[in-house]
Amino acid sequence: MNTWLDISKDSDFSIFNLPFGIFSKKKSKPSVGCRIGEWVIDLELARKLGLLEIPRNIFNQNSLNPFIGLGRKRCNEVRLQIQEWLSVENSPLKRHFYALFHKIDELNLHMPVKVGDYTDFYSSIEHATNAGKIFRPDNPLYPNWKHIPIAYHGRASSIVVSGTDIHRPMGQFKPADSASPIYGYTKELDFELEIGAIIGRNSQQGEQIKVADAENYVFGFVLFNDWSARDIQRWETLPLGPFLGKNFASSISPWVVMIDALEDFRVNGPIQDPTPLPYLQVDGARNFDIKLAVRLNESTICKTNFKYMYWNIAQQVAHHTVNGCNLKIGDILASGTISGSEANSYGSLLELNWAGKNTISLNDGQTRTYLENGDRVSMHGFCEKDGKRVGFGEVFGKIV
């Protein structure tokens, strides 16, 4: 499928993608846009021009939540309609080009969804095993890990859009050479490379979402950086898990890639042994072949893939609701750190530096164990197959 727009072949935002987000022009209110190449299509204006039959007060909002509330089928119909118009010469988008299309570098991008709740999973067996080897070399995986998708509830209010500065957090931690804990700025600031699933449908409290139906509750995906203060986290984690070491900030990419745009990139996940309990058993290809990379300043320090995840999104949704916990539109379920089996595929500094024992060499001759003030971390992800490319752009943040 070709488009009359001049789009780079290696653009994440091809005609096969068309993700949704929230943008604003100077001195204007935020509204819903659709990304194609280096352009953003103003969907509220398209509605006003009579091109899209969408109710009022859906696109003129500061989050995608009302649009998502129309249902994934209707949202995808909008995406497919735009795709068709971008591929035909006699297009209403072309006739109204100068009104509808805005250059990306002239816009402000905002949080794409209003996040009510956020859950962070721990679904990469490589990451879980690495973390276990670092802290519990004789027993890397806890006995329950291969039976349930482990997760904790995070802080929704501190999730920020890509480009937001990240303030180095303070807290209490206990250095190895100290008999008592101390208070101060974290010395072990880290990132975690993740994918975040945006929930696109409400469930009722007391309702169990079946694993076969679970993906119908997923609208799409974003890149997700779960910033982590490892020294604070290490001191506080037992017995109730992460708290201040995690809840100070998480960053997400501004464009939500619909799950429908990823259908051609489905792959089978790892063999699960032992076989999960019946409520977690899935059929078919439930993982996605998404190539991922992390850059620290100007150096690529990690390349991995979302396809390696042991627990997939359908299993995460099913397990999340098996006790009757309800999901709401805009909730985020983050995958947990995505790591591969090779040392350069580890999705966190904790693994890359093996808890501070190794240093990471950067292109400019500097080295790192953990993040320093002024460091810029960016994450990128895309799928590519048979001439089709669907990407996420980037999520980045600078440490201040």
Give the residue numbers marked as catalytic. Answer: 127
Calpha distance 358→378 (Å, rounded): 21
Task: Provide the b/e sequence for 2-23 (b: ≥16 CB within 10 Å).
Answer: ebebebeeebbbbbbbbbbbbb
Containing H/E element for 232? helix 230-236
Calpha distance 260→22 (Å, rounded): 19
Would you list the DSSP string of 283-341? -S--EE--EEEEEETTEEEEEEEGGG-SS-HHHHHHHHHTT-----TT-EEE------S
Would you list the DSSP string of 86-133? HH-SS-HHHHTHHHHEEEGGGSEEE-SS--S-EEEE---HHHHHHHHH
Contact by Cβ (8 Å): 297, 373: no
Q: Which residue has the tokens 């080295």?
A: 367
